[in-house]
Amino acid sequence: MVSFTKQLTPKQFDFVKSKLCKYQIPKTTEHMVFAAQYLQTKIFIYKTMKILVQGKNVEKVLQYLTIKKPIEIDDQYGEISYIGCDEVGTGDYFGGIVCIACFVPKKDEQTLKRLGVVDSKKLSDEEILKITRKVAELQGEKKIGIEVGYKSVEPKEYNILYDKCKNANIIKAICHNNALSDVCKLLKKNKSYKLGKNVKTVMDQFVNKNKYYEYLNKNCKPNSISEVNIFETKAESKYICVALASIIARAFFINQMNKISQDLGIQVPFGSTDPKIRKIASCIGRVYLNRYVKLHFRITKELN
């Protein structure tokens, strides 16, 4: 659960109370002077004038209360930048999966916002491809210091992995670790950044921390496992590095799906619910499905 604390001035205290008066809830301790719940997030103010904001939408609540989060700084290395991890393709019958890890220097965050970097689910395919091309262009011109780690698993490789582990989350964990390890290797060459100090890693959470490391410890060499500092659900809407990772992953997956469509001579739908998916899969035949789809989906068993 995300939380935020800050010392309030008397003026800020009065403002927060006025904004949240209709969302008040009972105080849970005698040390509190005010308690409220807004956007599935609890807000507590104590006698010391310290505010605690805790829950699912801390960022949105802080914006509503016009409270600015202080810039995170490591005492030795300075402003903290983040590596964001996200994946695409896990809910699609056709295609494999793509995992991306993106390092975004703090200084480049505003540039990405101006380019339109947000959660990829809010963007069209055309916008995703355009942003990805522009980011690559700025990288090539060394106008931004972004680093990208990439792991793409084609359907045939995915099916081999699934036959072995019988768990899609294990495959995701391994792929995320591979992408993250690539970025970490690149950053180790840059003396301006220190992993765990002024560089922290955010994972768009698909399993809890303990389960994630359990999967990696059973399937990866110990010295090949990269550390994740923050596991956060819906991280792509909270961290621009994860938003960028989601965009780039989507761009790679679009290209992967386009190749499949070209190979089959028909436009293959995304997802797993479009009625056309079963028709196309039936025409391919079971012998060749392994090359194009994730065989463990229920669709495969339902084919005639």
pLDDT at 304: 62
Q: Which pair of structure tokens corresponds to residue 83?
A: 């590596």
Q: Give the pTM.
A: 0.78
Terminal CA-CA length for the chain = 46
Nearest to 20 by CA among 30, 35, 32, 3: 35
Tokens found for residue 134 = 């522009």
* pLDDT tens column, 103-121: 999 999 999 999 999 999 9
> Mean pLDDT, 10 residues at a time, over the chain (304 residues)?
82 94 94 95 94 88 85 61 95 97 95 94 95 96 94 96 96 97 92 87 93 95 90 90 97 96 96 94 88 95 80
Q: Are 103 and 199 in contact (CB under 8 A)?
A: yes
Within 13 Å of residue 201, how many CA atoms lie on the same side as its CB?
27
DSSP 196-255: TTTEEEEEE-SS-HHHHHHHHHHHS-GGGPPP--EEETTGGGT-HHHHHHHHHHHHHHHH
CB 172 within 8 A of CB 205: no
What does the pLDDT look like over 68-89, one tens digit per residue?
776 565 555 458 899 999 999 9
